[in-house]
Amino acid sequence: MQEKDKKMEEIYIRNQKNIYDFLYKYTNNYDIAMELMQDTFLKFFENYRYLNLSEEKTTMLLYSIARNTSINFAKKFSTKKEIPSDLDNFTSSSKLEAKEEMKDLEERLYSCLQLLPEEQKTVILLRNVEELTLIQIAEIMGLSISSVSRLLVKATANLLEIAEQKGIKF
């Protein structure tokens, strides 16, 4: 295996879980997220294979490609929203009930998230789920840091308003 191929394999291994998680949370569909993740890495390998990027730049670029790929997919197809139903079958206990309540709240919030415009959904996911900094998000989205900050405030307010309309209480 050539040195570049080995480096590409390391990039894939190091980033595939985070990119998949981001895409799943964006699409709320396992199969589509897997397909988009594969497309993301293919685009990265085809276009950036010979550049010697730092690990952080590589990660930011992968998130940018994943975001753009998912937006393009959403424009072409209407995605089915799939809510996972693989709850563990344990005996009833207060811990289990609390865990189930949190999982239910999370699922309902993700359904609200799907109602936000693309940019707002992206900024919420990158900041609150992927825990990226405003600087990293700005780079991924091609916006200024102040624009990302304003977008995040607006997206959070809109998400809370949608949740309130659906009767979700925190």
Q: What whole-number distance in Å separates Cα of residue 87 and Cα of residue 163?
A: 23
Instruction: Give the pLDDT score at 9.
Output: 85
Instruction: Give the pLDDT score at 19.
Output: 93
Contacts of 20 (CB under 8 A, 6+ apart): 33, 34, 37
Instruction: Give the pLDDT score at 6.
Output: 83
Instruction: Give the pLDDT score at 95.
Output: 65
pTM equals: 0.61
Q: What whole-number distance in Å separates Cα of residue 131 and Cα of residue 136?
A: 10
Q: What angle do CA 119, 122, 124 make, to 5 degrees?
A: 110
Domains of the chain, start order: 3-76 (1.10.1740), 94-165 (1.10.10.10)
Closest alpha carbon to 112 in 96, 125, 131: 125
CB 122 within 8 Å of CB 26: yes
Instruction: Give the pLDDT score at 144.
Output: 92
Q: What whole-number distance in Å separates Cα of residue 80 and Cα of residue 94?
A: 33
Q: What whole-number distance in Å separates Cα of residue 152 and Cα of residue 94?
A: 35
Mean pLDDT per 10-residue run, the chain (170 residues)? 76 92 89 91 85 88 92 72 45 61 78 91 89 89 91 90 84
Instruction: Give the pLDDT score at 94.
Output: 59
How many Cβ atoms sit within 10 Å of the Cβ of residue 123? 28
Indicate the residue type of 59.
Answer: T
CB 108 within 8 Å of CB 100: no
Contacts of 69 (CB under 8 A, 6+ apart): 36, 39, 40, 43
Q: What whole-number distance in Å separates Cα of residue 85 and Cα of residue 91?
A: 17
**Tokens representing 95?**
């811990």
Cα dihedral angle (14, 20, 26, 32), rounded to 10 degrees?
150
